[in-house]
Chains A and B, each alone.
Chain A
Amino acid sequence: SAVISQKPSRDICQRGTSLTIQCQVDSQVTMMFWYRQQPGQSLTLIATANQGSEATYESGFVIDKFPISRPNLTFSTLTVSNMSPEDSSIYLCSVGPGASQPQHFGDGTRLSIL
């Protein structure tokens, strides 16, 4: 399976600031996704990162808060904007070939907002 690298692995940020998380894959992939995992909780899909077009956001997530880029088939970024303590979570990137196929995950970015 693809090797997925996320940067940074963790960060502590001040409220009101923004942080951009990078996801790099070692091979070209069709689908890339961003998830949020709040402390002690399961994973919730934020959006599907579409190559060359705007990301597709899930209910409860908006582009102004979580802008996403995907300039090519191996790279994507997620920005968490105007952060508040409620944004303290693990943010995970995943990749997959398509429907009815397993997604594979990076190790996530652990974000704490003070």
Chain B
Amino acid sequence: GESVGLHLPTLSVQEGDNSIINCAYSNSASDYFIWYKQESGKGPQFIIDIRSNMDKRQGQRVTVLLNKTVKHLSLQIAATQPGDSAVYFCAENGANDYKLSFGAGTTVTVRA
């Protein structure tokens, strides 16, 4: 499949501020996108997903935005907490495709 990538490898954010993590994808046939959080020593943990027929989806303290025109995906974390420090990955698959392609990952560090 085509690549899914992240714009920035690291993000430092002050506790209490909002975080925005970006992801670019190149496969125009991608129709399902996921954000994962991976803490040290753990496997990736599902955060939120979005299908290509939507441009925004909200969860608890998190919002995913999808811009299909420019093939861009973002994850917004409201009121970032120390427990949000982790590596965040976007992943995607195409229609009827069960295989996920992962982006490079962004390391988020929360400053107290």
Contacts and interface: CB of A to CB of B under 8 A. Distances in A.
Pick the most buried of A48, A92, A100: most chain B CB atoms within 10 A of its CB: A100
- How many B residues are at the interface, by size bracket? 20 to 34
Contacts of B15: none
B102 to A, nearest CB: 5
Given A42-B89, A42-B103, A100 B31 contact: yes
A104 B89 CA distance: 13
B32 A100 contact: yes
Nearest to A96: B98
B71 interface: no
A31 interface: yes
Contact of B100 (A45, A107, A108): A45
Given A43-B89, A100-B31, A31 B43 contact: no
Contact count band on A = 20 to 34
Contact of A99 (B45, B46, B97): B97
Interface in B31-58: 31-32, 34, 36, 41-46, 49, 51
A98 B102 CA distance: 17
A102 B98 contact: no
Contacts of A92: 43-44
Nearest to B32: A100
A22 to B, nearest CB: 15
A106 to B, nearest CB: 5
Interface string A31-52: 1010000000111110010000
A103 interface: yes
Contacts of A105: 36, 43-45
A49 B91 CA distance: 20
B96 A99 contact: yes
Nearest to A30: B98
Interface in A89-114: 92, 94, 96, 98-108
7 contacts: A43-B44, A98-B98, A100-B95, A102-B49, A103-B46, A103-B100, A107-B41
Interface of A: 1, 4, 31, 33, 41-45, 48, 58, 92, 94, 96, 98-108
